[in-house]
Structure 1
Amino acid sequence: MIRSTLPALAVALLAACAAPANTQNTAPLTTGFSATQLDSMSARVRADVAQGRIPGAVYLVARNGSIVSTQTIGWQDAAGKVPMRPDSIFRIYSMSKPIVSVAVMMMVEDGRIQLADPVSKYLPELKNLRVGVEKTDAAGKPVLELVPAHREMTVQDLLRHTSGLTYGVFGKSLVKEEYKRLDVDATEQTNTEFIARLAKVPLQFQPGTTWEYSRSTDVLGALLERVSGQTLATHLQQRIFTPLQMKDTGFWVPPAQQGRIAEPFAVDPDSKVPVGLINVRRAPRLESGGGGLVSTAADYFRFAQMLLNGGEIDGVRLLSPKTVAYMTADHLGIVGARSLARGAAYLPGPGYGFGLGFGTRTGTGESATPGSVGDYYWGGVGGTYFWVDPKEKTVAIWMMQAPGQREYYRAWFRNTVYSAMIP
């Protein structure tokens, strides 16, 4: 549940960034960032807002635990001419996944879940799933042949997206058509109903063989509900949001706070297609662990800084440093050397492996954007993005609601932050 009291960090942001058009960077040289470069960065975002590229954005860069730059630019709701606020609330979609992954690893540390356990130990509905293999019949028509799984998916498979599951909404395959036929991706269902539908469709891949972006983290949310005996919202509130003082993070925005919801343009400025994001003005039936949360830049900073600190912030510890290091290590293996297959649409991209909830950098080169070996990240389809660079002791958070522009601004934000770093 989102509460009305502003986080302490949001109050600081509000004081520093009272008006989107007048924000400034005051980064001293001791922060390792150029104030001039950071000013150019914010000027660019203001220009893009003025040209109608994006409605607005809130972003934050921190180093060594201290905020170097925060910016609140443009419109929270362009149609209503509502200025962006430091505490504007964003639909973070798949940036929910790292949070749920942390909750699962907390259960592992508690001894209530083991990573090597078959998922069916906790969700027996998912036992004896079969794998869909596309074949061609005598008439040349594609058909789906169901074969036994070589082994069951494990909890680790869910965390690293090697479960054999998929999404019905991205790409095409006969298995994805089954997802659509049985409405597996529906929002108007509970987590229990979601698992019941998922149990009726075949796997896209043999478990443990291929990275495929999927409903895996939604299954983890259902697993957390089953093990804890709580709704996912209640569990995350008690274990993560309250301890970390993430006061504006949850699965919906209560009426008293709905004036802070950031909205997209009604029509994408590039594709000219209407933009539709999830309705967060009412409590959802599906508390989606893979994509249902809302949050603010201030709240997500506390979560990311906790990770950078090795599982602790302000005296509150969620995970041990060893567990965080394990989560943010690559769990797929080096390409071409006994590695797991990446699949046709490998979202972490070149230069990145995947850990337990994060894309994690395996080399300084290969990727089209700069970074450090060991940095880890993820983003949301609505336009949000974050990364943590342990080598540079840096956290960066980007919040906007512009799905069509998300890929460009993710790359631009990362390029610009690293270009602003100085010795």
Structure 2
Amino acid sequence: MKPFSPAALGAALTLAIGLGFPALADPLPQGDPASLGFSAERLAAIDAKLQEHIAAGDMPGASILIARHGKIVHTAVLGDVRPDGPEMTRDAIFRIYSMTKPITSVAALMLVEQGKLDIGDKVSKYLPEYKSMTVATGYGPKGEPTTEPAKREMTVQDLLRHTSGLTYGFFGQGPAREAYLAARAGDSARSNRENAEDLAKLPLEHHPGEKWEYSRSTDVLGAVVEVVAGKPLGEVFDEMIFTPLGMDDTMFAVDDPALHARIAEPYPEYAKIGPYEMADPRVKVAFESGGGGLHSTLDDYSRFAQMLLNGGELDGARLLSPQTVAWMTSDHLGERIQPGKYYLPGAGYTFGLGVAVRTEDGISSDMGRKGEYRWGGAAGTAWWNDPLNDLQVVFMIQSRPKGSEMRPWLKSMVYAAMTDEQPTN
């Protein structure tokens, strides 16, 4: 929530009303669970299960929002905001980490719709340092990576679907991954553009377009968005996504002291992302990571989710066309691109433009329906949209290992709470 002077606030409200955007960040309308096809008793069982995890010390608190047909079926706000209290609130602010990626992807697709960007473009069109990349092939006599020229240049589509050849460094071992760790790729003190330049100096893990590899691709995509839009990524998000959707509490830095009491925190033993401590939201840094830098609230992210579920529009604010959302949530890997060793979407899923996409009702060990798309965050947050059931779920906690452990049973219990007949394809 950004502070306004009275004059600026009035001007912003006038502009929002004039453009047809929501002036304030309102929750989705409340619905009746029974009329929306849910059992109140089974929804309560989800809350009880979450309370068990809170009592076990897995996380101080949790919040969940389930919506169907554009109305809230169920919201639960449980436990505490931080280990030392106070009680969890609906407007608590969470590190959403990689749930930033779908937002960056939407910004890129909005630029595509405006004719300013093409996902078939080579990344070097916007970031020249990506013209002649190399791929790690092994180790030299001094332990340095040996390399060969990339077979082709990476494209913007490669960035969107994680087939650029870039990596993160903390999944597995190998010369490229180790080079990323040694270079401390993703330095918070360096800008998006500087970080993109740093990554271009490192060898790729794979040849572009050959394998899916979870990576800093969306960070580089954020730098591309900045170049195309001609302004910092945070400004792009505010103008193109957050203001139109009324996402007033979604931001890179929660540096306003008035908001600090609302920041959710983990227990110390669950506060690391790999070897690193979770970022402090209160500290404004130079790196506005398109791959993992945002903080948000339950209701804010549900508005973003509902916009996509509605085919790109919410409360009169259209960000994308239905055709673009359908394209975004389609299979962009096909049979030729290999999943790679660390394929996070899992069995039964392909990858679209910034989201994992379910290809079949079966195959996956998680409950769900064909066409579902989703992503989560390293601190435990999760989100999925199920177009077949016109359903969205947003789940917020701050606990590094526990979120991934809880997501399978959470999905099972949400679907178990549905009482109406499942739609067919």
Same fold (TM over 0.5): yes
Q: Which residue number corresponds to residue 17 of structure 1?
A: none
Q: 1:167 to 1:150 in 2, by over 3 A?
A: same
Q: Distance in 1 between matches of 2:209 and 2:72?
A: 40
**TM-score w.r.t. structure 1 length?**
0.90
Q: Does 1:33 align with 2:38?
A: yes
Q: Does 1:262 align with 2:267?
A: no
Q: For 1:174-185, list aligned pairs within 5 A.
A: 174-185=175-186
Q: Does 1:118 align with 2:99?
A: no
Q: Which residue number corresponds to residue 196 of structure 1?
A: 197
Q: Which residue number corresponds to residue 12 of structure 2?
A: none
CA offsets, 1:182-240, max 9 Å, x none?
22232221112102211211111110010000000000111111111101101110000
In the TM superposition, residue 53 of structure 1 has moved relative to its aligned partner by 2.4
Q: Does 1:348 align with 2:345?
A: yes
Q: Which residue number corresponds to residue 383 of structure 1?
A: 380
In the TM superposition, residue 47 of structure 1 has moved relative to its aligned partner by 2.6
Identical counterparts, % of pairs: 48
Q: Distance in 2 between matches of 1:274 and 1:174?
A: 18
2:101 maps to which of 57, 77, 97: 97
CA contact (8 A) 1:211 1:342 kept: yes
AA matched with 1:219: V
CA contact (8 A) 1:63 1:393 kept: yes
SS in 2 for 1:207: coil
Q: Distance in 1 between matches of 2:295 and 2:351?
A: 24
CA contact (8 A) 2:96 2:381 kept: yes
Q: Which residue number corresponds to residue 358 of structure 1?
A: 355
**TM-score w.r.t. structure 2 length?**
0.90
Q: Which residue number corresponds to residue 72 of structure 1?
A: 77
SS in 2 for 1:31: coil
SS in 2 for 1:353: strand
Q: Which residue number corresponds to residue 8 of structure 1?
A: 26
Q: Which segment is superposed worse, 338-347 or 321-330?
A: 338-347
Q: Does 1:311 align with 2:304?
A: no
SS in 2 for 1:243: helix
Q: Which residue number corresponds to residue 158 of structure 1?
A: 159
In the TM superposition, residue 51 of structure 1 has moved relative to its aligned partner by 2.6
Q: 1:144 to 1:239 in 2, by over 3 A?
A: same
SS in 2 for 1:70: strand
1:414 maps to which of 389, 411, 414: 411
Q: Distance in 2 between matches of 1:53 and 1:167?
A: 26
AA matched with 1:153: M
CA contact (8 A) 1:72 1:84 kept: yes
1:107 maps to which of 97, 111, 135: 111
SS in 1 for 2:412: helix
Q: Which residue number corresponds to residue 127 of structure 1?
A: 131
Q: Distance in 2 between matches of 1:77 and 1:398?
A: 17
Q: Distance in 2 between matches of 1:401 and 1:130?
A: 37
Q: Distance in 1 between matches of 2:77 and 2:112?
A: 38
Q: CA RMSD in A?
A: 2.1
In the TM superposition, residue 144 of structure 1 has moved relative to its aligned partner by 3.1
CA contact (8 A) 2:303 2:314 kept: yes
Q: Which residue number corresponds to residue 402 of structure 2?
A: 405
Q: 1:342 to 1:142 in 2, by over 3 A?
A: farther
Q: Which residue number corresponds to residue 231 of structure 1?
A: 232
SS in 2 for 1:413: helix
CA offsets, 1:3-57, max 9 Å, x none?
59973229x89xxxxxxxxxxxx94422111111001111221232123222110
Q: Which residue number corresponds to residue 22 of structure 1?
A: none
Q: Which residue number corresponds to residue 20 of structure 1?
A: none
CA contact (8 A) 1:27 1:34 kept: no
Q: Distance in 1 between matches of 2:193 and 2:333?
A: 30
| Number of positions where the alignment pairs a residue of Structure 1 with one of Structure 2 | 400
Q: Which runs of 5+ in 1 are unaligned?
A: 14-25
CA offsets, 1:160-183, max 9 Å, x none?
000010012332111112112222
Q: Which residue number corresponds to residue 60 of structure 1?
A: 65
CA contact (8 A) 1:266 1:275 kept: no
Q: Distance in 1 between matches of 2:198 and 2:115?
A: 29
